[in-house]
Amino acid sequence: MTTYKDDSVTTGKLTLAEILEVLTAGDDLAMKFTAYDGSSAGPADAQVGLDLRTPRGTTYLATAPGELGLARAYVSGDVVPTGVHPGDPYELLRALGDNMDFKRPSARVLANIVRSIGFEHLRPIAPPPQEALPRWRRVAEGLRHSKTRDAEAIHHHYDVSNTFYEWVLGTSMTYTCAVYPDADATLEEAQDNKYRLVFEKLRLQPGDRLLDVGCGWGSMVRYAARHGVKAVGVTLSKEQAAWAQKAIADEGLSDLAEVRHGDYRDVRESGFDAVSSIGLTEHIGVQNYASYFRFLKSKMRTGALLLNHCITRPDNRSGAGAGGFIDRYVFPDGELTGSGRIITEVQDVGLEVVHEENLRHHYALTLRDWCANLVEHWDEAVAEVGLPTAKVWGLYMAGSRLGFETNVVQLHQVLAVKLDNKGGDGSLPLRPWWNA
């Protein structure tokens, strides 16, 4: 074990494994690390590990320390995980989270690390082609959260391949948190239960009109239409809209359901009996919350209900921007804040919040099941979208599962009503009227 007291740490050339040991301050590793220079660290019998295979991987790790550099090396194949499937590297990420608490070494030690790595590895190189531009360079697509730039961000994430999403999401084609009625429920049962919960919270009845913004593949729209509700959904993804319209026609729901390809801000109708926003708030930008909820309110009749379902921070102080990996590989321009900020913005546009709940444990289960689907259909997924993109999704979903389990992120549903000018709420029941 290398320690800070060893003279070699400050003078002799260090192997890549020794550098890792220095940066973790000698903490016991629950994973094995091997490198192309022949060095290794961690227990030989560890169940999971990382194999650094190329000098290019060292450059990625050295020029973007942390999750972004590791993601670049992993996506490009320069770092290879051991003991886990690339469609679900959850156990490896958990080991990394438990053991990779990097310490900043002294200036002398850091200088020797730089010499040992080689200055040539400190010059940035082009990232993998799957990576989006950094935020400061996305101005070419327009101002952040303009219609043009939002459309480009949604295209990056959602227009991967409908076939790919069918393998990952299953028959529900729902890319938002499910609600598990019990621990043994299937993903499909949990997603259907989520839509049942949203439908009941919104007090929808046959003949009502629902607006579903950011509707994805139209699952909420079709659920509502099956129960006699006239539903309009809108999505910025052209592929989602085409898939949803076909599904609506195949189910014989065209008289009641419609999914449009476009921006929610282009919806002209108003007087809806209910509005659902399931997984859209993460994309609109925290600074735009006021205009967003004001717009949704303008689409509601007096007494109508709004349900906002979105990922949140566990507090209201953290910065809104996503981490490097999420922002560059998964959700360009995505932003999160605490549920308190969301509730505040809903209240400040004049809506009354009547209920909210945190479903973060349900999202961890949802991500577990999505990863299981990806593992099951791995060969087909790789053939459809390519190995690097498939790896991004496995890494993203497994990492997100860990984030929900450890309360790094949460999932909140906020229910609000549009009051009349005397505070009337349309005679809502005194207690929650839905089944949990």
CA count, 13 A, side-chain hemisphere, 139: 2
Q: Could you tell me the strand order of the sheet in which 40-41 lies?
A: 40-41, 32-35, 49-52, 79-82
Instruction: Compute the CA torsion angle 330, 333, 337, 343 (nearest 10 deg).
Output: -110
Q: Please give the Cα distance from 409 to 361 (Å, whole number).
A: 10
Bridge partners of 310, per DSSP, are 412
Most confident of 6-10, 95-99, 126-130, 177-181: 177-181
Task: Please report which confidence band the pLDDT of residue 363 belongs to, taking 50, 70 and 90 as the band edges.
Answer: very high
Task: Please report which confidence band the pLDDT of residue 113 belongs to, taking 50, 70 and 90 as the band edges.
Answer: confident
**Does pLDDT of 403 surpass 80?**
yes
Coil vs helix vs strand at 429:
coil
Q: Minimum mean pLDDT among 37-51, 126-140, 141-155, 172-186: which range?
A: 141-155
Q: Minimum mean pLDDT among 101-105, 144-148, 229-233, 367-371: which range?
A: 144-148
Q: Residue 328 has what pLDDT? A: 87
Q: Residue 102 has what pLDDT? A: 66
Task: Please report which confidence band the pLDDT of residue 156 belongs to, taking 50, 70 and 90 as the band edges.
Answer: very low
Q: Please give the Cα distance from 177 to 183 (Å, whole number).
A: 15
pLDDT, tens digit, 9 for 90 and up, residues 12-51: 889 999 988 887 765 567 899 999 999 999 998 999 999 9
- Distance between alpha carbon 344 and the CA centroid of its chain, in Å? 23
Q: Residue 149 has what pLDDT? A: 47
Average pLDDT score over residue span 154-172: 79
Task: Please report which confidence band the pLDDT of residue 125 belongs to, taking 50, 70 and 90 as the band edges.
Answer: very high
Average pLDDT score over residue span 332-361: 96
Q: What is the mean pLDDT of the chain?
A: 90
What contacts 110, CB < 8 A, 6 or more positions away? Answer: 104
Q: Residue 142 has what pLDDT? A: 54
**Does pLDDT of 147 surpass 70?**
no
CB 263 within 8 A of CB 241: no
- Predicted TM-score (pTM) of the model is 0.90
Helix 378-385 crosses helix 360-376 at what angle (to 10 degrees)?
Answer: 80
Most confident of 41-50, 83-92, 94-103: 83-92
- Reading the block at residue 364, the tokens are 């961890």
Residue, of 101 and 150, whose pLDDT is higher? 101
Give the rounded percent of residues in the chain with a pLDDT score beyond 70.
Answer: 89
Q: Residue 152 has what pLDDT? A: 54
Q: Please give the Cα distance from 74 to 72 (Å, whole number).
A: 5
Q: Residue 119 has what pLDDT? A: 85
Average pLDDT score over residue span 124-128: 92
pLDDT, tens digit, 9 for 90 and up, residues 216-269: 999 999 999 999 999 999 999 999 999 999 999 999 999 999 999 999 999 999
What contacts 108, CB < 8 A, 6 or more positions away? Answer: 10
Strands 230-235 and 209-213: parallel
Residue, of 5 and 232, whose pLDDT is higher? 232
CB 58 within 8 A of CB 65: no
Which residue ranges form the domains of the chain, and what is each CATH number? 7-122 (3.30.1050), 147-418 (3.40.50.150)
What contacts 76, CB < 8 A, 6 or more positions away? Answer: 56, 57, 60, 128, 388
Report which residue type is found at 10: T
